Amino acid sequence: MFENVTRALQDLRDGKIILIYDADNRERETDMVIASEKVTPEIIRTMRKDAGGLICTTVHNDIRELIEIPYLADVFSDISDRYPIFSQLSPNDIPYDTKSAFSITINHRNTFTGITDRDRALTISEFAKFARRALTTENGWAKEEFGRLFRAPGHVYLLNARKDLLVSRFGHTELATAMTVMAGVVPTATICEMMGDDGNALPKEQAKAYAREHGLVFLEGKEIITAWRSGAWSR
């Protein structure tokens, strides 16, 4: 039943890209997805050229709580008294969702501009290394270390996954993060929407064709949700 998911989990462990389509009643988009700890400049180049959307890195709630990074919409709300324009920009009319996953943007302090393939790969891979250590260290150094390693704003967009993974929100942030949890890698994924040459999101059937051509696993969100809820991956 979970053969497709099982293959995708192994590909994540092996540092390969997988494709995830969320749902027909949601964004109707396919994202390239890879475990953040496996990101290289070549992966960033592939996402930039073959996908073409926004390259983002997901943050599991356990990591988010350790470094206390906010949802960007909450930051805007909190400063709206000082900057009233932000009260007008509230994302309360997203047609397919209830809350944006966007958090802060970062660059690693050893990057130059932060936007090159090498710079973004460095930021993302170092974030994954930081996350692994933060989740296994008990001395409370995470917030200070995060500030020592990274600066903001930057060119890597962080996306906060919901605490209740795949319970109340079923976006690519949660789907990809759940896949990293099931794969047993550092629970952060790097994702990028696949765009079509017509200016719209790449249609699902074309994304499937790309997967076949490049030997990649194509997953639908409902497959991931079913596997996650089964709990079979944790046994």
Confidence class of residue 141 from pLDDT cuts 50, 70 and 90? confident
- Residue-level pLDDT at 231: 85
Residue 26 confidence (pLDDT) above 60 = yes
- Residue-level pLDDT at 233: 76
Domain spans in the chain, listed from the N-terminal domain onward: 3-228
**For 3-228, CATH number?**
3.90.870.10
Whether residue 166 contacts residue 224, with contact meaning beta carbons closer than 8 Å, is answered with yes
Give the residue from 50, 2, 4, 58 showing the smallest Cα distance to 186: 58
Q: Which residues have a catalytic role annotated?
A: 31, 56, 96, 107, 155, 193
10-24, 115-129, 221-235: range with lowest mean pLDDT = 221-235
Give the residue from 194, 196, 174 showing the smallest Cα distance to 55: 194
For 98, other C-beta atoms within 10 Å of its C-beta total 9
Confidence class of residue 1 from pLDDT cuts 50, 70 and 90? low
- Residue-level pLDDT at 89: 87
Residue 235 confidence (pLDDT) above 60 = no
41-50, 81-90, 173-182, 213-222: range with lowest mean pLDDT = 81-90
pTM of the model: 0.94
- Tell me whether strands 56-59 and 189-193 are parallel, antiparallel or unpaired: antiparallel
Provide the β-strand partners of residue 201.
195
- Tell me whether strands 18-21 and 218-220 are parallel, antiparallel or unpaired: parallel
Task: Average the pLDDT over 33-61 and give the result.
Answer: 98
Task: Average the pLDDT over 201-219 and give the result.
Answer: 97
For 199, other C-beta atoms within 10 Å of its C-beta total 6
CA distance 14 to 27: 28
